[in-house]
Homo-oligomer: A and B are copies of this chain.
Amino acid sequence: MDDDLVYVYANTPQEEVANLIGKYDYMAIPVVNDQQQILGVVTVDDVMDVMEEEATEDLFKFAGTTDEELNYSSAFQACKARLPWLLITLATGFITSTILKYFMVEFKDVIALVFFVPVVMGMGGNTGIQSSTLVIRGMALNSFSGTDLFKRLMREIAAGAMMGLACGIIVGLWAEYLTRSTATAQISYSPPLLALTVGIAMMSAMTFAAMFGAFVPILFSRFKIDPAVASGPFVSSSNDIFALLIYYGVSMALLAVV
């Protein structure tokens, strides 16, 4: 008789049972109570259902809603599930519109700066999502160990900076072209300086976003907050605000002193 038993308790979280079965390729695992009396068995096909459920749950969290939506039949129920995230985005919009107001009053002669606000924010946002997805999924699959996380963070920053450099150069060239073709009366700065501003802002925003996107899930998991929650609303909203502030800051540094 093999008495080297592996078992789970009735209150063991289903993700943990799934991990055990998955890790050891078991076909089934006994469930016991506190007195180690057997209560039943969880088979591998139960676990498959759990895994499918978890994957769905993660994907919906990512999109800022809930997988219960799959069972909803009315549009009204769908609204209730989705509005919380949308309201976070809306609140973020209160902040970005206020920043933009100051930005535009400060640079009212440089309307061309505004043309690139959406792309700088968008690139920052996407870079952040990519970094946080990698870190969240890596942690969920136990691909990263503790000391690995710091290295991973450094690597994300390096990747963000490299991608930012490439994209910054491209957007700078585009900005140079687009502002040159704008009615000259509206430009009080030279197109090359404006192009440099846009390029540096994008590179800085992307580097920051990669760092932030990787750091937040690590921080959240330290505080036992489900890191999958972080990837959606929190990282996106913060990166929107930071990207705009970085753009504002770079513009101040390069254009306001001229």
Which of A29-37, A123-131, A250-258 has 4 or more CB atoms under 8 Å from chain B?
A123-131
18 pairs of residues in contact across A and B, judged by CB atoms under 8 Å:
A44-B44, A51-B52, A54-B55, A65-B130, A69-B134, A75-B159, A79-B166, A82-B127, A86-B123, A89-B119, A89-B122, A90-B167, A93-B116, A97-B175, A100-B114, A101-B178, A104-B111, A117-B117
Q: Is A221 in contact with chain B by the CB < 8 A criterion?
A: no
Decide: A134 near B85, CB < 8 A? Known: A97-B116, A118-B93: no
**Contact status B117-A63, CB under 8 Å:** no
Taking CB atoms, residues of chain B closer than 8 Å to A45 are 21-22, 25-27, 44
CB-contact partner of A44 in B48, B58, B143, under 8 A: B48
Chain A residues proximal to chain B, CB less than 8 Å:
21-22, 25-27, 43-45, 47-49, 51-52, 54-56, 58-60, 62-65, 67, 69-70, 74-76, 78-79, 82-83, 85-87, 89-90, 92-94, 96-98, 100-101, 104-105, 108, 111-112, 114-119, 121-123, 126-127, 129-130, 133-134, 137-138, 141, 143, 155-156, 158-159, 162-163, 166-167, 170-171, 174-175, 178, 182-183, 186, 240, 244
Q: Are B70 and A134 in contact (CB under 8 A)?
A: yes
Asked if A162 and B79 sit within 8 Å, CB to CB, the answer is yes
* Contact in complex: B118, A121 (CB < 8 Å): yes
